[in-house]
Structure 1
Amino acid sequence: MKKIKILHWFVITLIVIFIIHFLTNMYLTFYTPGFMNFGDEHYSQFIFGYYTQFVGLTFSILSFVALFFLRKGLGVTIKKGFFNKNSSKKFKIAGKLFLVSGVLSLLWDFTLLIYSKGEILFVGSIISDILLLLIGFGLLIIADFITNGNTIQQENDLTI
């Protein structure tokens, strides 16, 4: 249980870092300093122009929401024990959100890779997207283990 508590606080720390990241991005978007004020010709090189920056932000928001569900699932696990339906539901939702975010980010990074004619810059992002997919699959597998463990625990309680 101690490791789950450590993981719970780590997820809370990640949520705080995400909030700082979002606030910084919002500030820089709406109050752009002079050295970041690019002209229209700069944005014409991007796929969606000025709005290209908001595509990555959308994927970050999906991951942010998934972290909230992961935090809630860990909190329920800490309070009610390992095998309960509520934590399983939270982990499934978090896993699905991580999967969606990972797939969309992977598609976006492949699009950028093709658009940039194969520049190596996006390889690190693609690896991060694959890691996000693995985290999503891992959470779905953990949710299945919790559901099966809950069923076995209920059967044991009935036989006793």
Structure 2
Amino acid sequence: MKKIRLLHRFLAIINIALIVLLFVILGLLVIPDLIFQKAYTDKALGTYNHLIIFLRGLLLLVGLFKTQQGLMAIIRNGFYNTISELKFKRGGLFLVLFGITGIIFNIITKQELELNIFITNFIESIFVILVGLGLFILADFIKSGGILKEENDLTI
């Protein structure tokens, strides 16, 4: 349980840092771009480039926050509970969406990127998708374990 608590605290620190980063992006890049309609001729998405980066950051934040909530449910209610199962599934969904949007964003902006950065971004997006799918698998393990635990409790 100590490792789960450590992971929960680590995700809390990452989420706080990500919230600060998103507010900075919103305040310094997104809002001024939308207010002044700044035209980026060198960007494939133009004025909306920073907005899309901000929205992708929100997807990541929600995915990590749901995962953090799933860990908190494990700490409070034990490993086999429906709350953590649901939170891990939702966290996995948001992480998969973040990875898919990362691949799409990477393909759209490929002319702006060097080849090594393009490949690195692509691999990172694939990795995030795999982590999201891993959370789906973990949720299924929790569900199956909960069913087995319930059956075991009924037989005793």
Whether TM-score is above 0.5 comes out as yes
Moved more, 124-133 or 135-144: 124-133
**C-alpha distance in 2, partners of 1:80/1:19?**
27
Unaligned 5+ residue runs, structure 2? none
SS in 2 for 1:127: helix
Match of 1:69 in 2: 66
- 8 Å contact kept, 2:96–2:129: yes
Consecutive aligned runs of 4 or more in structure 1 exceeding 6 Å deviation: none
Deviation at residue 118 of structure 1 after TM alignment: 6.6
Note the alpha carbon deviations across 1:80-129, whole angstroms, 9 max, x for none.
Answer: 1000111100000000111111111112112222x448743322211211
Q: How does 1:53-68 map to 2 (within 5 A)?
A: 53-68=50-65
- 8 Å contact kept, 2:85–2:142: yes
- 8 Å contact kept, 2:43–2:112: no
Q: Which amino acid aligns with 1:46?
A: K
SS in 2 for 1:75: helix
**C-alpha distance in 1, partners of 2:135/2:10?**
16
**C-alpha distance in 1, partners of 2:60/2:113?**
28
Match of 1:153 in 2: 149
**C-alpha distance in 1, partners of 2:140/2:26?**
38
Q: Which amino acid aligns with 1:26?
A: L
**C-alpha distance in 2, partners of 1:57/1:120?**
23
Match of 2:26 in 1: 26
Aligned residues: 151
- 8 Å contact kept, 1:56–1:105: no
RMSD over aligned CA atoms reads 1.8
Q: 1:94 to 1:18 in 2, by over 3 A?
A: same
**TM-score, scaled to structure 2:** 0.89
2:127 to 107, 126, 131: 131
2:81 to 74, 80, 84: 84
Deviation at residue 131 of structure 1 after TM alignment: 1.3
**C-alpha distance in 2, partners of 1:152/1:57?**
42
**C-alpha distance in 1, partners of 2:117/2:81?**
43
SS in 2 for 1:104: helix
Q: Which amino acid aligns with 1:88?
A: E
1:141 to 131, 137, 144: 137
- 8 Å contact kept, 1:96–1:136: yes
